[in-house]
Amino acid sequence: MLSLQEVTYRFDPSRPLIQNLSLDVKQGEFVSVIGASGSGKSTLFKLITGLLEPDQGDILLNGKLAVNRLGNVGYMPQKDLLLPWRTVLDNILLPLEIMKESKQGKVTEIREWLARFGLSEYEKAFPHELSGGMKQRVAFLRTLMTGRELLLLDEPFGALDSMTKRKMHSWLLGLWGELQKTVLFITHDLEEAILLSDRIYLLGWDDVKEVRVNLPRPRNPEQIYQSEFITLRKELEMLIHHES
């Protein structure tokens, strides 16, 4: 579904932030990207969405060179960016307004999703009336309403406390079978990356590193205590320590 081929991007002409990066994401995969701050993770997402253009290399969507990528993928940034003057329902409808699509036929579908997300009672609430986890669920549903098959999620749970984050992991894992979407996910949390992902890419070194997560699905947060999970985390930590 997504392929980056020898992509290079520079903010500073003398020092590439991303250099000769190649990676692939297959349809239906959940792939995480981890790396130190400043390694280019968020810039990578901006390149994929078309907010930035690479200095070198190609970006392909569905096997085709994607010159104009704006609007072709769903993108959820680190902050929820909900509009404070709009209700939950009106925030979720925003992508349809931007794409100039009819909202009437989607309201019933959105209400069904709100029920699945545990937000039925908050349809008319404003963002300041929601908890952090609720805001992230609304922002995620708004991203789904773009209708795109590829979703880019930039640390969507990074600002949440550990208990709320754990609940969001349970929620997302339970929802994953229904979504049938392809996800590229940025995180600094190794447990989060292992729990959610099929594969993990490590950015920040001369060659991008790929780690496969061969844990069976469906998964649940209790797996973080199992020996296979702990072993994989240790291997990942050792690889990060060695490369750094």
Q: Which tokens in the block code for residue 100?
A: 């100039």
Instruction: Evaluate if residue 172 carries a pLDDT over 90.
Output: no
Residue at 101 is within a domain: no
Residue at 90 is within a domain: no
The predicted structure's pLDDT at residue 205 = 61
Q: What is the mean pLDDT of residues 49-71?
A: 88
Instruction: Evaluate if residue 244 carries a pLDDT over 70.
Output: no
Q: Encode the chain in three state secondary structure.
A: CEEEEEEEECCECCECCEEEEEEEECCCCEEEEECCCCCCHHHHHHHHHCCCCCCEEEEEECCEECCCCCCCCEEECCCCCCCCCCCHHHHHHHHHHHCCCCCHHHHHHHHHHHHHCCCHHHCCCCHHHCCHHHHHHHHHHHHHCCCCCEEEEECCCCCCCHHHHHHHHHHHHHHHHHHCCEEEEECCCHHHHHHHCCEEEECCCCCCEEEECCCCCCCCHHHHHCHHHHHHHHHHHHHHHHHC
The predicted structure's pLDDT at residue 232 = 93
For 13-50, the pLDDT digits (tens) are 778 888 889 999 999 899 999 987 778 888 999 999 99
The predicted structure's pLDDT at residue 77 = 84
Mean pLDDT of the chain: 87
Residue at 178 is within a domain: no
Confidence of residue 199 (pLDDT cuts 50, 70, 90): very high
Residue at 208 is within a domain: yes
For 143-162, the pLDDT digits (tens) are 888 878 898 998 887 777 78
Residue at 85 is within a domain: no
Q: Which domain holds residue 7?
A: 1-73+186-244
Q: What is the CATH number of the domain that holds 198?
A: 3.40.50.300
Residue at 86 is within a domain: no
The predicted structure's pLDDT at residue 243 = 60
Q: Which tokens in the block code for residue 181?
A: 């979407």
Residue at 33 is within a domain: yes
Residue at 145 is within a domain: no
* Count of domains for the chain: 1
